[in-house]
Structure 1
Amino acid sequence: MLNVNSENTRSLGRRGVLALLGGVAAAGLLPTQRARAEGTSHSVLAFDGDALVVAGEQVWRFDPSGDAILLPAPRSPIRALACHPDRPGRLFAARIGGGLDLSGDGGRTWAGTSDGLPLAQVTALAIAAGAPDTIYAALAGDGLWRSEDAGTNWSFVMDRPWLAEAEREVLTLASVNLASGMGGIWIYAGTDQGVTRVPDCFCRWQDVVAGDAMDALVAGTPRALEAPLPKGEPVRALVSAHSAPDRLYAALPSGLWASTDGGVAWENRSSLHAQALAVDSTDPDHIAGAYNTELKHSRDGGATWATLAAF
């Protein structure tokens, strides 16, 4: 049963309450509930432990118990969101217009943590797999920055990817702990030309390849893939599964794609045109997705989807 704080409910009004219910449905708490309103803005999603956080112009937190909490509005709408499954409650949010905020209590309070970053739009965020204090931020027109102390200090680590004869903006980021790479950590970037990646030595962006990735990086002669992710399409969302490090999901205009081998081979799972994705930290088959006016979820790795809310 959904429990909504009465004070928050009075302040939300009809559209806000309906959006709140829709977000709860996206977390899988109300599988038959549908919500409608006159309009909504694009939202970003992230699982914080076993709760789902939905952020945009407002921020909601949906707990598995059924409680739905409308959190204090951010200083400006949120463009990107990241949280680490091994550090529940710690959230990073990139604000539209520039700036980065950190929450240590699951989004209830926020503080700026972008000192040292250039004054540019943060287009994507990822927290390093296996390292909750390390966060990567992609900046428009600039490149990839890293903080190893939870956002207190930042350093530039990598230029933007060079794809199809031009530098490309990073639209989405994912950090994956694989059995190859310098320390096993790879940073995957979704661009308007597909997916590329770099090991955490930040030596060079490279296409995802078959075989020994580090050998291919040194040799510069990767083996061709038999089932690559389509190139030339913008990657709107890219997420990795914490409990299954080789599992990746990508949202493209051609649909929802999935890889079970770290991005070497991809399968088109459905025609869902998602703009945001999130994966349950304990169940790699449980995905939440958002597209324009709909929230959906899948419990079979993206093969089938249920519409949970329509705004």
Structure 2
Amino acid sequence: MNRFETHKAVSRRRLLGTAFGLSMAAIMPNLAFAAGNGAKAALAFDGDAILLGGDVLRISSDGGKTWAEHAAPGQVLALTTHRGQAGLVLAGLAKGGVAISEDGGATWRSAAQGLPGGPVNALAIASRDPELFYAAIQGDGLYKSEDSGANWALAMDRPWLNEAERDPLTLVSVDLETGMGGIWIYAGTELGLTRVPDCFCRWQDVQPGNAMDALVAGDAPPPENPLPAAEPVLSLASSPTVPERLYAALASGIWTSADGGVVWQRMAETPASAVAVHPEDERYIAALMGGNLKLSRDGGTTWTATSVV
């Protein structure tokens, strides 16, 4: 058996997840761009290197001028890295499970103990702890590992939005003092943006104030300038150097927030499916837009296309 093959046990929400996946494929066929020979693309920075994952893993160490191609551990749906540990790369796989590389994507090992079967739609590494991982399993829930992926356990059900559970399409750990323990886990869903503090008490809308205020207030009015209503949030990125600076990729373009997601403004109108920010420079952004991988060195004011599509 392939060492990346996950078990076939039916998860507690597998049937619901399967139905949801089929409906999403029917109503949103063009939300994800292609990489390689048709796989959904995932995007991340590993230090200065740019990683583009799909059926294969492409890596550029010179700002997108040239690319090296590596074998992927399977079809990659999600990639995440950590500022504090260069070379650490997590890949969420379409066939289920998480693969981990500690050498920038050259070699991989399986890290699926405790994870249910099902595609791993989204991944995040805790902003303050490179050994704490989060994984969103399609049709199931949010799982976490406190030992660098050796073991996983359910942390939270999927967000409940508009009378149904919704799969996270993207995750990011954001180091803000308004969160409990300084951490928020933000999730993009088919119906927009939500987040949960690291107590995993309750998914909630993004709003001003700290996590406890939000929990006490219950349902709060939306912020004055949120992301477009009911539009899928396909990718999120947080700047480690300026954690309140967030980026989001939507079909309506690239959006940015300077206050942890309370107020948003659009910085590019080309349809986008992925966004990543350099770990040491909040103005250096990579994004999949209009079928191309584009880079900005000035915070999104201008963009340059790379040699890979």
What residue number does 1:90 align with?
Answer: 88
Report if the CA contact (8 A) 1:293-1:310 is conserved.
no
The equivalences for 1:32-47 within 5 A come to 41-47=39-45
In structure 2, C-alpha distance between the alignment counterparts of 1:214 and 1:118, rounded to whole Å: 31
Contact kept, 8 Å, 2:66 with 2:307, in 1: the verdict is: no
Query: Is residue 2:88 matched to residue 1:107?
Result: no
Q: Report SS of the residue matched to 1:232.
A: coil
The question of 1:242 aligning with 2:240 is answered yes
The answer to whether the 8 A contact 1:60-1:68 is kept is no
AA in 2 matched with 1:176:
V
Counterpart of 1:80?
78
Partner of residue 164, structure 2: 166
The more displaced of 122-131 and 271-280 is: 271-280
AA matched with 1:105: D
Q: 2:201 aligns with which of 196, 200, 203?
A: 203
Kindly provide the CA deviation profile for residues 49-84 of structure 1, in whole angstroms up to 9, marking residues without a partner as x.
121112111112222499956353123221110110
Asked whether the 8 Å contact 2:174–2:183 carries over to 1, the reply is yes
Structure 1: distance between partners of 2:222 and 2:52: 38
C-alpha separation between the residues in 1 aligned to 2:285 and 2:84?
Answer: 18
Distance between the aligned counterparts of 1:174 and 1:253, measured in 2? 19
Contact 2:42 2:77 in 1 (8 A): yes
Q: Which one has the largest radius of gyration? A: 1
**Is the alpha carbon distance of 1:38 and 1:63 closer, same or farther for their aligned partners in structure 2, counting shifts above 3 Å?**
closer
The verdict on how the C-alpha distance between 1:270 and 1:152 changes in structure 2, with shifts beyond 3 A counting, is same
Contact 1:39 1:293 (C-alpha < 8 Å) held by counterparts: no
Question: Shift of residue 128 of structure 1?
Answer: 0.5
Deviations 1:8-38 (A, max 9, x none): xxxxxxxxxxxxxxxxxxxxxxxxxxxxx99
**TM-aligned CA distance change 1:50 to 1:224, over 3 Å:** same
1:249-298 CA distances to partner (integer Å, 9 max, x unpaired)?
A: 11111111100000010011110211111101111111111146311111
Map 1:263-302; keep pairs closer than 5 Å: 263-291=261-289, 293-302=291-300
Deviates more, 1:153-162 or 1:227-236: 227-236
Aligned to 1:149: 147
Supply the AA of the counterpart residue of 1:298: S
- When structure 1 is superposed on structure 2, of 283-292 and 158-167 the one drifting more is 283-292
Q: How far apart, CA to CA, are the structure 2 residues paired with 1:237 and 1:50?
A: 20
**2:306 partner SS:** strand
Partner of 2:302: 304
Q: Please report how far the alpha carbon of residue 306 of structure 1 lies from its aligned counterpart in structure 2 after TM superposition.
A: 2.2
Q: Counterpart amino acid of 1:225?
A: P
Match in the other structure for 1:262? 260
Q: Distance in 2 between matches of 1:303 and 1:166?
A: 38
The verdict on how the C-alpha distance between 1:224 and 1:53 changes in structure 2, with shifts beyond 3 A counting, is closer
User: In structure 2, the residue corresponding to 1:303 is in which secondary structure?
Assistant: coil
The residue that corresponds to 2:213 in the other structure is 215
Unaligned runs of 5+ in 1: 1-36
Secondary structure (helix, strand or coil) at the match of 1:275 reads strand
Indicate if the aligned counterparts of 2:296 and 2:302 stay in contact, CA closer than 8 A. Answer: yes
Structure 2 SS opposite 1:130: coil
Matched residue type, 2:186: Y
Distance 1:292 1:42, change over 3 A: farther
Amino acid at match of 2:123: L
SS in structure 2 opposite 1:109? coil
Q: Following the alignment from structure 2 to structure 1, what is the Cα–Cα distance between the partners of residues 204 and 264? A: 17
User: 1:246: how far off?
Assistant: 0.1
Residue of structure 1 equivalent to 2:48: 50
Give the length in aligned residue pairs.
275
Tell me the SS of whatever aligns to 1:196: strand
Q: In percent, how many aligned pairs have the same letter?
A: 50
Contact 2:134 2:142 in 1 (8 A): yes
Residues 152-186 of structure 1: CA deviation (Å, up to 9, x unaligned): 01110100001111111110001001011211100
* CA deviation profile, 1:186-210 (whole Å, cap 9, x unmatched): 0000000000000000000000012
SS of the equivalent of 1:72 reads strand
Q: 3-state SS of the aligned residue for 2:276?
A: strand
